[in-house]
């Protein structure tokens, strides 16, 4: 097992966590939101937390912000730029703990030609932009049209308007089934499946039931010389070891190796690690 732990970067820090909350800095703004896994005591005094520009109320499920808090704002990571917004789901549109994965996919693809990458449940496109910045052709799938619009805005903001990214509002199971019939092949596949979800036409997604099926579909879509399959998962009732085992059993005939672990953020204050999800990676490199 290999955990992916980040301390953040210039435009992002986990400042503190505890008592069911986390205090983060996105650019120049301080954000407080619930996190049930942070069951320990806070390290910073309450006065630091009171400086937050936006707080998500877990009871009303609404944001309470400073009077002049912007509708959206920018943050950067290396050559990538992102628009952030406060969403009703307590997110900002970016999962900063994945930035080590942005580096991995970009470095893996850099210097290679005619690489096709499929990104399922692509959300606002951070991983799509990372692989596109390395020269890959990306097919970005998400059931949410607003998320696809947001991803396109991030692409233009990052100066990647000429990169080839296909944005498709589709259910991942149905899309991969159709791609198999079309004989389409991909050199790398990324996915970030939720626990539960719905496709654009009401299709139901259940991780426990549909994830193994989706993996089977994806294996049929791999090219003759595939690079990697990267899976992220949040709030699922399985461990990183189990996720790695599923990927290992499905990719056994391909050779290569599978690594898995937790994805987490290291606090700037107390040095503790806040686990935010799990991942599994098959790679043939």
What are the extents of the domains in the chain?
A: 7-75, 76-83+90-283
- Burial of residue 99, with CB atoms counted within 10 A of its CB: 0-12 exposed, 13-18 middle, 19 or more buried: buried
Q: Could you tell me if residue 210 is left (phi over 0), alpha (psi between -120 and 50 degrees) or otherwise beta?
A: alpha
d(CA 102, CA 189): 14
Per the CATH hierarchy, to which homologous superfamily does domain 76-83+90-283 belong?
Answer: Vaccinia Virus protein VP39 (3.40.50.150)
Buried (b) or exposed (e) across 263-274, using 16+ Cβ within 10 A?
A: bbbbbbbbebbb
Q: What is the pLDDT along the chain (285 residues), one digit of tens a residue?
A: 699 999 999 999 999 999 999 999 999 999 999 999 999 999 999 999 999 999 999 899 999 999 999 999 999 999 999 999 999 989 999 999 999 999 999 999 999 999 999 999 999 999 999 999 999 999 999 999 999 999 999 999 999 999 999 999 999 999 999 999 999 999 999 999 988 887 887 778 888 889 999 999 999 999 999 999 999 998 777 899 999 999 999 999 999 999 999 999 999 998 999 999 999 999 988
d(CA 50, CA 158): 33
What is 7-75's CATH number?
2.60.40.1180
């Amino acid at each position: 097992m290999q955990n992916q732990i980040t301390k953040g970067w210039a435009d992002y820090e986990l400042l503190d966590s505890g008592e069911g909350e986390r205090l983060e800095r996105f650019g120049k703004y301080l954000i407080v939101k619930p996190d049930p896994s942070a069951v320990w005591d806070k390290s910073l005094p309450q006065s630091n937390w009171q400086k937050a520009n936006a707080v998500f109320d877990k009871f009303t499920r609404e944001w309470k912000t400073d009077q002049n808090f912007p509708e959206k704002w920018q943050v950067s990571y290396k050559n990538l730029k992102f628009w952030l917004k406060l969403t009703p789901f307590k997110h900002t549109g970016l999962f900063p703990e994945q930035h080590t994965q942005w580096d991995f996919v970009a470095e893996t693809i850099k210097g290679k030609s005619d690489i096709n990458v499929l990104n399922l449940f692509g959300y606002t496109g951070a991983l799509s932009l990372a692989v596109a910045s390395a020269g890959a052709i990306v097919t970005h799938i998400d059931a949410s049209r607003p998320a696809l619009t947001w991803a396109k805005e991030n692409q233009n903001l990052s100066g990647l308007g000429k990169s080839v990214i296909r944005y498709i509002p589709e259910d991942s199971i149905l899309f991969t089934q159709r791609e198999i019939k079309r004989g389409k092949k991909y050199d790398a596949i990324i996915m970030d499946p939720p626990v539960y979800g719905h496709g654009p036409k009401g299709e139901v997604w259940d991780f426990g039931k549909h994830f193994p099926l989706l993996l089977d579909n994806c294996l049929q879509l791999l090219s003759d010389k595939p690079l990697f399959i990267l899976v992220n998962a949040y709030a699922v009732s399985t461990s990183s070891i189990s996720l790695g085992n599923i990927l290992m059993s499905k990719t056994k005939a391909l050779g290569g190796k599978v690594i898995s672990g937790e994805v987490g953020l290291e606090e700037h204050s107390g040095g503790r690690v806040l686990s935010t999800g799990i991942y599994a990676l098959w790679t043939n490199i």
